[in-house]
Amino acid sequence: MRLIDHFIVGGSGGEPARKGDVFDPNNGGVQAQVALGTAETLERAVQAALAAQPKWAATNPQRRARVMFRFKELVEANMDELARTLSAEHGKVIADSKGDIQRGLEVVEFACGLPHVMKGEYTHGAGPGIDVYSTRHPIGIGAGITPFNFPGMIPLWMSAIAIATGNAFIIKPSERDPSVPVRLAELFIEAGLPEGICQVVHGDKEMVDAILDHPAIGAISFVGSSDIAHYVYNRGVAAGKRVQAMGGAKNHGIVMPDADLDQVVNDLCGAAFGSAGERCMALPVVVPVGEETAEKLKAKLIPAINALRVGISTDPEAHYGPVVTQAHKEKVESWIGKCVEEGGELVIDGRGFTLQGHEKGFFVGPTLIDHVTADMDSYHNEIFGPVLQIVRAKNFEEALELPSKHQYGNGVAIFTRNGHAAREFAARVNVGMVGINVPIPVPVAYHTFGGWKRSAFGDTNQHGMEGVKFWTKVKTVTQRWPDGSPDGGNAFVIPTMG
C-alpha cells in the first residue's frame, strides 16, 4: 500500500505509528495511506523552519519573487499531473481540478509582485529634521490548516503570500486528499526555495492541536467548518497567535422578476452542482422573488438538472463526480431526508444514485427541493453536496432579509437587470462577498477573500493586501540626524499640546 509521508527536512523519521486511509471516491476502495503525525513530527518541522527562516527573510524581495516566478512555471508545467492526482483523491472532475489549481496560481502571480507591496511608507519632515518610515517584516513561521475541498487552491493561497513575504510555512492538509500539497512543496524546492521554508505535516486533531499550541508558530490560517474554525481561532489566539479561520457557508442566489432566467438556470447548475457542491462558495439556496418567478424558474430548472451528467472524475463529459468519502455521502443524503421531513417538496431526489461499473463509488445525484423555509434545520445548516434548495420570497425586502439574517455570511448573488435593485442589495446585504449576476463571487487574487458572521473568525482576510497584512508585522521608525553644530542643534522633543 502506497504511503503518503510528511514532507519535512530530514525525512519522516521512520514508519508512522498511526496511518489514515485515503480512498478513491470513484470506486470506494482504499488507494493509499497517509502518515498521521504527532507533536514530535511537528517539532522536527519547526526546528528546520527556525534554522532556515532568518536567511530567507534576509533574502531581498526580488530574489524571493524570482523563486515564485519559477514555482509558477513549474506548477503550470505539471498541471496535468497535479489535476489527475487531485481528482483521484478528491473526486472532482479533471476540469474542476485544473480550475482549483489555476485559482491558486492567480495568488502565486500576485505574490510575484510582492517587492512592490512590501515597500512600506515614508514621511519626510514629519517634524524639524525628523523623518518617519514604516517597513513590513515576516512573522517568522506560519502554518496553514487546509480543507479537503480545495487541496490545490487553498494551500497555494496561504503559502504563496506567506513565503513571498519572508516566512517559513508549514502546511497541514486534509488527511482525505493529502498528495497535492506534498507535490507543491516538492515543486517549491525545485524552484529554488531553501529546504525548511515550505514543509508538509499530515495528521488529524492531534496534529492540529500541536500546531495551535506550538510557541514558535506565530500565525495560523485555517479553512474548514465553522465549529472547527471557531475552535481553531479561540485556541490559537489563547496561545498568543495571529489567526484567520474561515468557516462554512450557505450562499443565496436572489432571482428578481426581471432576471434572465435562462442565464440564471445555467449559472445555478454550475454554482450549485459543480464540484458536487463541495465548496464554500457554492450556491445551494436560490431565492426567487414572487410566485410567478418561482414557478417559471422551477419549470426551467427541472429539465436542466435532469440533464446533468454525474460521472467518474476522469470522465470528460461529466458535470461533476463523487463526493469525497462514504461518510460524507451518507451525511448529504441524510440532510436531503431531513429537509423532506421538515416539509420540503422533493422535486428531484439524488439519493441512492449509482454509476454502472462504479457501484461502490461515493456518488450523490443532483437534488432539487422546493418550498424550503427559513425555520428548517436543513436551511440553517451547510449541506455541502449537490443539493439546491428553493426558498420563495414575496418581495425584495424578504429576499434581502434571508441571507442577511442567516448564521453564515460568506457569499451571496443577485440576478437582475435593474441597476438600482442591484446597488441597493449590494449596499444593504449583511454578507462579505457579493455577486451581481455573478453566481460564485470569489474575488480576483489582488482583492481579498473572506466572509462575515460564522463564515470567518479573525480580523484579516485571505490573499490580496489583506493577506500581506496577515503574514507580516509593521515596524515604524522615527529618525533624526543631529546637524553636527557646536551646540548640538535643537533638542529633539516629543510634540505636546502645551
**398 closest CA partner among 429, 440, 436, 422:** 429
How far, in Å, CA of 159 to CA of 155, rounded? 6
**409 closest CA partner among 440, 442, 433:** 433
Catalytic site includes residue 280:
yes
- Asked if residues 407 and 428 have their Cβ atoms less than 8 Å apart, the reply is no
Per-position DSSP letters for 298-356, written without gaps between them: HHHHHHHHHTPPB--TT-TT-SB---S-HHHHHHHHHHHHHHHHTT-EEEE--TT---T
How far, in Å, CA of 457 to CA of 452, rounded? 8
| β-pairing verdict for 141-145 and 219-223 | parallel
- Strand spans (E) along 371-471: 387-390, 408-409, 411-415, 433-436, 452-453, 456-457
**284 closest CA partner among 376, 369, 341:** 369
How far, in Å, CA of 415 to CA of 253, rounded? 7
How far, in Å, CA of 280 to CA of 95, rounded? 18
Q: Is residue 250 left, alpha or beta, with left meaning phi > 0 and alpha meaning psi from -120 to 50?
A: beta
Length of the chain: 498
| DSSP-assigned letter for residue 394 | S
**110 closest CA partner among 446, 344, 421, 338:** 446
The active-site residue out of 112, 198, 269, 280 is: 280
| β-pairing verdict for 219-223 and 242-246 | parallel
- The helix or strand, by DSSP H or E, that contains position 135, with its residue range, turns out to be strand 130-138
How far, in Å, CA of 7 to CA of 61, rounded? 25
How far, in Å, CA of 409 to CA of 448, rounded? 15
Which phi and psi angles does 287 have, rounded to 5°? Answer: -120, 90
**38 closest CA partner among 168, 232, 202, 228:** 202
| Sole residue written with cell 459543480 | 274
Catalytic residues: 280
